[in-house]
Amino acid sequence: MTEGDDKIALWQQQRCADTPAVDDAIRAMLEASQRVTVPAGTTVFRPHDRCENYLLVTRGRVKVLLLTPTGHELLLYRVEPGESCVLTTTCLMAARPYPAEGITETEVTALMIPKQAFDRAMAASAAFRQIVFEHVSHRFADIIGRIEAVKFADLDLRLANELLRQADAGDVVHATHQALAAEIGSSREVVSRHLKVWERDGLIRLGRGRIELIDRAGLRRIGTLSV
């Protein structure tokens, strides 16, 4: 296939919509798009950047981080294949700059759609509006859940669960302390202190860019304690 893999098979046949045919307005929007590929570790937008394109991720993953006034990072969500960035959507619709930062975690392929084509599809297509608003609704529910977890859950609980979630088949977490801090809404210094205590207690073993889980059962107990 060519031409952006036929615009990624017409956006996976209109995101597997209930309608049997792809909406004409969505087809026109996709035909106006440009396929782009971005290397891993690229900052695709920063706070105060203008938003000029609607992006549909077709391969890879983007993480969206909120930068606090104290310099800490809070992971808001990830954009996976088939999804769009909800901040991009809302910034386009409100003509406002980005309030957060987006970074590719892997090499990313996306369809870049000009604002004018996005606006036309929003005006003409009920099916596209439904896709967009359902995604916005679900994403904001996820963000609220994450904020509640950061605000109300004990840091030990959050950190233990994050280590268990990220551990590979060999019980190794390949992540920096800064990356873990962003995942759980804390600071690198606080995370490092907790990890050092857990290493002393025999729960983990710290290495450069890696954390080996020594006592999974002990971490599970921490991760299931009530707040």
pLDDT in tens, 95-120: 899 999 999 999 999 999 999 999 99
Q: What domains can you pick out in the chain, each with its CATH number?
A: 3-151 (2.60.120.10), 154-223 (1.10.10.10)
Q: What is the mean pLDDT of the chain?
A: 84
Decide which of 102 and 223 is more confident: 102
* pLDDT beyond 70 at 67: yes
Q: What's the average model confidence in pLDDT over 177-194?
A: 87
CA atoms within 13 A of residue 101's CA, in its CB half-sphere = 16
If pLDDT is split at 50, 70 and 90, which confidence band does 21 have?
Answer: low
Determine what percent of the chain is predicted with pLDDT higher than 90. 45
Global pTM reads: 0.63
If pLDDT is split at 50, 70 and 90, which confidence band does 150 have?
Answer: low
- HEC assignment per residue over the chain: CCHHHHHHHHHHHHHHCCCCCCCHHHHHHHHCCEEEEECCCCEEECCCCCCCEEEEEEECCEEEEEECCCCCEEEEEEECCCCECHHHHHHHHHCCCCCCEEEECCCEEEEEEEHHHHHHHHHHCHHHHHHHHHHHHHHHHHHHHHHHHHHHCCHHHHHHHHHHHHCCCCCEECCCHHHHHHHHCCCHHHHHHHHHHHHHCCCEEEECCEEEECCHHHHHHHHCCCC
Decide which of 187 and 19 is more confident: 187
